[in-house]
Amino acid sequence: MQTAEKTAIKKADTITSHRRDYFKNLPKTGVTKKMILDIVKQENVEFINMQFIDIFGIVKGITIPSDKLEYAIDNNVWFDGSSIEGFARIFESDMYLKPDLNTFALIPWTRINGSTTARIICDVYTPDDKPFTGDPRFVLKRQIEEAKRIGYTYYTGPELEFFLFKRNERGEIILLPHDKGSYFDFATDEAHEIRNEMCFALEEMRIDVERSTHEVANGQQEIGFKYGDALTTADNAVTFKYVMKTIASRHDLYATFMPKPIFGINGSGMHVHQSLFKDGKNAFYNPDDAPYYFSDTARSFIAGQLFHIRSMNAILNPLVNSYKRLVAGYEAPVYIAWAQKNRSALIRVPACTTGRGGESTRCELRCPDPSCNPYFAFAVMLAAGLDGIKKNLTPPKPVEENIYHLSEADRVAKKIASLPANLYEALYEFKKSELMRSVLGDHIFTRYYEAKMNEWDQYRAQVTPWELDKYLEKY
């Protein structure tokens, strides 16, 4: 057995052992202060990262010593919100972090000489003890409550793809994929040991991993974790990116969730599987609706998302680079349609919908990419679906033929529209949407739009290598 394999197995044994031990006394919900303080003592936790999320989905945080944790749980942690982009102005900057005890987890790579560090994800509050309207978790929680008000629980299961790139001798990231593998490859998949280590780290951070695979493009990876309620899943998605980047760095690699880092090959998406449950049963399932087995509720939910998709795109695909992925020919959905077998459609109903008495019935929105803020993404997706249900909208007929093979005239005849072609077009649709404004609230809606328009203006003023190659000598 080679040294690398021995090292990987040793790491696996260590991590799974710790995972088993501290999972025993920590449920997924209903975690108490006593439970956490007992684990902190048992695992010799010296520091706790009190994490929160900015409007772009980036993890921020304040680190406290473990002997201050009990006080922080009882009295919260104050910080200056003016230093966080999109949060608050300088004269209204005082805020505090309220820890969500259910998100407590050990950070596996910090375990050194018998001690370790933990993390807790926090909600952001203002001095008058109200949730901060600029907190992405609050935005999602508000939509979850709206779904609950009419009897629904929203579940999501995102599939985040990412690339592993090498670094040069100076430690700089270079666009050289870590391997030459392709979809499901083993023989040329040089990243399987790294993905295994990533999986063990995710498990120790209380994320239930279901599969790990090499994706289509060289250097492209995917690790799937179990679906759950939208808030927990959004927390997991943010943690997932944080874990992938950290473990990659430990191997002198860089994990990027940039949607389209290399021209000419597939980009990275974040397909999101969605379902609504009501009274403990899947509200999307209808046993009498072969071959889709989709209820009227599900069809209205899809209709709402199809209706609002162009205005949602600035949230689901938030970068200039996002629209380099959303082009025909690279498996990314571009056309606004739904289907079951057709993977060129924007929304797909997986064929496994009849399993387990309809429990697995769901729809898959295929356009989001992993650079999005998952709290905002799930919030606008849920709001759009609920809008379809409230208005009893009916979706168009499913399109089971490959839309990429249709002519423009055929698409027009079938009334198949397209997603926005670039970030500017997406922001134009976003700004017109009353639903987007109501979901995000005026604070985030305004700051997000301004930040993204500034991003677009910076981009469009650039002179790119493509332009120089195309025009410099010719003109």
Before 291, cis peptide (omega within 30)?
A: yes
Q: How far is Cα 403 from Cα 246, in angstroms, rounded to an integer?
A: 39
Q: Catalytic residue at 364?
A: yes
Active-site residue, selected from the candidate residues 43, 185, 197, 222:
222
Q: How far is Cα 32 from Cα 408, in angstroms, rounded to an integer?
A: 58
Active-site residue, selected from the candidate residues 43, 123, 135, 161:
161
Q: Catalytic residue at 401?
A: no
Active-site residue, selected from the candidate residues 343, 411, 443, 447:
343
Q: Catalytic residue at 192?
A: no
In the block, residue with structure tokens 């999320």:
53
Active-site residue, selected from the candidate residues 271, 273, 308, 325:
271
Cα 245 to its chain centre, rounded Å, is: 14
Active-site residue, selected from the candidate residues 135, 159, 179, 189:
159
Active-site residue, selected from the candidate residues 197, 364, 369, 429:
364
Q: Catalytic residue at 343?
A: yes
Both tokens assigned to 444: 């985030």
Q: Are 340 and 349 in contact (CB under 8 A)?
A: yes
Q: Catalytic residue at 271?
A: yes
Closest CA to 422 of 324, 308, 346: 324
Active-site residue, selected from the candidate residues 80, 85, 208, 450:
80
Q: Catalytic residue at 46?
A: no
Both tokens assigned to 305: 């998302």
Reduce the DSSP state of residue 440 to 3 states and report it. Answer: helix
Question: What residues contact residue 94 under an 8 Å CB cut-off, 6+ apart?
Answer: 78, 80, 81, 126, 127
Active-site residue, selected from the candidate residues 178, 273, 299, 366:
366
Q: How far is Cα 464 from Cα 46, in angstroms, rounded to an integer?
A: 48
Both tokens assigned to 189: 């998949």
Closest CA to 361 of 372, 350, 377: 350
Both tokens assigned to 117: 């560090």
Q: Catalytic residue at 161?
A: yes
Active-site residue, selected from the candidate residues 215, 235, 387, 429:
215
| Active-site residue list | 80, 159, 161, 215, 222, 271, 343, 364, 366
